[in-house]
Amino acid sequence: MSGPAKGVALSGVAKWYGKVPAVRGLDLEVAPGEMVSLLGPSGCGKTTTLRMVAGLEAPDAGEIRIGGTRANEVPPWRRNIGMVFQSYALFPHKSVAENIAYGLVMRRLPRAEVAARVADAMRQVQLQGLDERVPSQLSGGQRQRVALARALVTRPDVLLFDEPLAALDRKLRERMQVEIRQLQRAVGITTIFVTHDQDEALTLSDRIVVMEGGRIVQSGTPGEIYERPGSHFVSDFIGMMNALRATVTGRAEDGGLRVRLEPGGRELAVAGPAGMAAGDGVELMLRPEKVRLNPPAGAGLIHVGGTVAHVVYLGAVTYLHVGTPDGLVIAMLPNAGGDAAAPRQGDAVTLGWRAADMVCFAPPRDA
Ligand SMILES: Nc1ncnc2c1ncn2[C@@H]1O[C@H](COP(=O)(O)OP(=O)(O)OP(=O)(O)O)[C@@H](O)[C@H]1O
Ligand SMILES: [Mg+2]
């Protein structure tokens, strides 16, 4: 960074490709030093948003500000932004050190300073000793580290990542996620990270911005997005969920909703969104890890009896699919007791969960 960290602000930003709306009226503020992920399915406008911040695409409407200054008319090479892509985009015939130095050489920095900064960046991404290799002599993870060093070495105000880890295998991806997060924190650089991998977004972000169809549908900390999703779409995208159907029967005294589970007919009080009225259909979302197996009676839980329909053993956890009068409920059980401790298909079980762990929202449009 050339000075104190700079934030990024988008207001009313829109982009059309011919008749295709790629981004529709985006409002997004990234605070100085914050790491924000844009999360969403293929085609929701993540890359287009990133490219507009970088200046590689011009918005059709709205304003982009970097460090409080309007950037719409600023060409990409004057925005002081570092970018890392899925394809490493390295020069194949240049060495690692030459690849990393490229942006500094273009800026005509003195040779000694270039060498010092390159050595620094290589240390930051743990590439020491590989200066002379060319990209074809590196592993995928090492190539991505070169791309990262190349983005960092110019001391950008903002770092943009577009699915940089998508091509790496799972173990390496997880390690790089932690490394990128630590590095981002250490350097304190404002960062926007595009991904369609929910675990990656949860691992990396101060804040997750979920996009759908060119719009932001929810923005919050990883905990808020996971625990309190505002819609079926967000909930389903960020993790596994049980979706119980219910009908609103009225308002509870504390302002919450009274609902009746369908088809079981059980009546419950839940916290619900405003604007719901008696007769409305709603969905009650419950994460599988909130469901307990055979809990003691009277623990303030909702208890539901059922029969195990299916058991999925995953080593660290087991998923129990349980048929209940209120619909199918999946419970995630830690395997503290080992394989033998889990119930078998056909067993009768009782499940329990806290009413407060259910999140109420409108059912998905297509249901
Ligand atoms: N150069 C282009 N010309 C025409 N349409 C485009 C162009 N680039 C993107 N689009 C369209 O704009 C929409 C948003 O694309 P974008 O690349 O931003 O999505 P994305 O969220 O990055 O998806 P992915 O996860 O697949 O990378 C899509 O409908 C896409 O087909
Ligand atoms: Mg993309």
The CATH class, in words, for 8-236 is alpha beta
How much is the average pLDDT of 190-200?
95
Q: Is residue 274 classed as helix, strand or coil in its secondary structure?
A: coil
Q: What is the pLDDT of residue 366?
A: 65
Q: What amino acid is encoded at 218 in this protein?
A: Q
- Is the CB of residue 82 less than 8 Å from the CB of residue 38? no
> Edge-to-edge, what's the strand order for the sheet holding 242-251?
267-270, 257-262, 242-251, 281-286, 359-361
Mutate to test the pocket of ligand 1, among 10, 13, 15, 17 (most ligand atoms within 8 A of CB): 17
Ligand 2 geometric centre to CA of 51 (Å):
10
For 237, residues 6+ apart whose C-beta sits below 8 A from its C-beta are 39, 40, 41, 198, 210
Percent of the chain with pLDDT over 70: 98
Greatest alpha-carbon pair distance for the chain in Å reads: 76
Q: What is the pLDDT of residue 134?
A: 94
User: For residue 342, what pLDDT band results from cuts at 50, 70 and 90?
Assistant: confident
| More confident: 341 or 188 | 188
pLDDT of 367 above 60: no
Ligand 1 contact via 45 beta carbon (within 6 Å): yes
Ligand 2 geometric centre to CA of 85 (Å):
10
Q: Which atom number of ligand 1 is nearest to the Cα of residue 44? A: 21
Number of C-alpha atoms within 13 angstroms, CB side, residue 209? 24
Helix (H) or strand (E) run with residue 35 in it: strand 35-39
Question: What region, left, alpha or beta, does residue 69 occupy, with left being phi > 0 and alpha being psi -120 to 50 degrees?
Answer: beta
Specify the residue with its C-alpha closest to ligand 1, atom 24. Answer: 42
- Domain extents in the chain: 8-236, 240-294+301-361
The two tokens of residue 112 are 């000694």
Mean predicted lDDT score pLDDT of the chain? 92
How much is the average pLDDT of 8-18?
97
At residue 257, φ and ψ (nearest 5 deg) are: -105, 145
How much is the average pLDDT of 260-288?
90
Residue-wise pLDDT for 80-111, tens only, equals 999 998 887 899 999 999 999 998 998 899 99
Ligand 1 geometric centre to CA of 81 (Å):
21
Indicate the Cα dihedral angle 261, 267, 270, 273, nearest 10°: 60
Specify the residue with its C-alpha closest to ligand 1, atom 25. Answer: 42
Residue-wise pLDDT for 222-260, tens only, equals 999 999 999 999 999 999 999 999 999 998 888 789 999
End-to-end CA distance of the chain: 49
User: For residue 49, what pLDDT band results from cuts at 50, 70 and 90?
Assistant: very high
Specify the residue with its C-alpha closest to ligand 1, atom 7. Answer: 17
How many other CB atoms are found less than 10 A from the CB of residue 171?
9
Q: Any idea which residue has 């972000």 for tokens?
A: 205
| CATH code, residues 240-294+301-361 | 2.40.50.140
pLDDT of 17 above 70: yes
The angle subtended at Cα 23 by Cα 21 and Cα 28, nearest 5°, is 165
Mutate to test the pocket of ligand 1, among 44, 160, 195, 210 (most ligand atoms within 8 A of CB): 44
At residue 53, φ and ψ (nearest 5 deg) are: -65, -40
Spatial separation of the C-alpha atoms in residues 307 and 101, rounded to whole Å? 63
Say which ligand is closest to the CA of 211: 1
Residue-wise pLDDT for 297-338, tens only, equals 877 899 999 999 999 999 899 999 999 999 999 999 998 877
Angle between helices 170-187 and 140-152 (to 10 degrees): 20
Ligand 1 geometric centre to CA of 193 (Å):
16
For 243, residues 6+ apart whose C-beta sits below 8 A from its C-beta are 232, 283, 284, 285
Ligand 1 contact via 19 beta carbon (within 6 Å): no
User: For residue 140, what pLDDT band results from cuts at 50, 70 and 90?
Assistant: confident
Mutate to test the pocket of ligand 1, among 23, 24, 47, 162 (most ligand atoms within 8 A of CB): 47
Ligand 1 geometric centre to CA of 180 (Å):
25
Q: What is the pLDDT of residue 29?
A: 97
